Structure 1
Amino acid sequence: MSSLATGSEQASPARGPLRDGVWFTGAAAVLLAAIVFGSSIGPAGPDWWRVPLELLNRLPLIDFDSGVTDGEWAIVWKIRMPRVILGGLVGGMLSIAGAAYQGVFRNPLVDPYLLGAAAGAGLGATIGLTIGRSATSGWPIDPVPAIAFVFAVAT
């Protein structure tokens, strides 16, 4: 027998709980920073540097004056924060869809144009915009995204 190790017996980089914990902690820190940064920016409401202070002030057992009025906090909490949360959810869903495409085709460069899903969605949106506008003018929601989704699934 040879004393040389084969390719499958060679040592792989350490992948243990400590390394996974560092990645998880780093990802959580970046997510928290993105939420604070996204909720701090906007044309109306408090100054950008007051929002993190007010978020800290809203934690239990912490009490100080951040200088944010109730009206400004309503702008942050009812307008900016839903926008940030929705952006995070949409980004997460897009990453799951991309990972599913990559897993199914075993190709890290795959995109929605591979099967024509993006082209089908574009065709559905075009049809919804040109033909369906007069027929759906009284609807409470915009039907174009739903039509685009149906066409993407159909292709």
Structure 2
Amino acid sequence: MSLTLYILDYLGELKSQRKSFKQRQKEHDENVMKTIIRLKKRNPLKDGLICTARKPWVTVGIRNVDYKRARHFPVDLSAFCKILEIDHVRMVVKCEPFVKMGQITRVTVPMNLAPAVVPELDNLTVGGLINGSGLEGGSHLHGLFPTLLSLMR
């Protein structure tokens, strides 16, 4: 099952990479609007706290996520998984929060670029590393992942 999910994930990456920057940005903007519409439907008095509607099996950690089902307002962010742009001059990757580190590495290495800080697990997402302080990987030269915003040659 893991192999099947990996292959499907990889094929999704290839499909996304074939799209132009304009198309990926357009899809991003559409997904942002869908998220805004979903958030506007929330009644703070009735719906409780906002949480991501990420499926429990789509996770790197072992924490039980049942708390999300009890009086929380789920917002599905799974569509935010694309690399939007790679700026070769500034060496910056513009991506969405559910982009995995392996995805970034697979795209940048053929360009003779690589992130200066690469966590041990390529399934860790950019958003997760930023929110979790990037403790899964760090560099004595560049610090933890959240402090690093550019690529190195």
- Give 1 or 2 for the bigger CA radius of gyration: 1
Q: Same fold (TM over 0.5)?
A: no
* TM-score w.r.t. length of structure 1: 0.25
* TM-score w.r.t. length of structure 2: 0.25
The structure whose residues are more often helix, as a share, is 1
The structure whose residues are more often strand, as a share, is 2
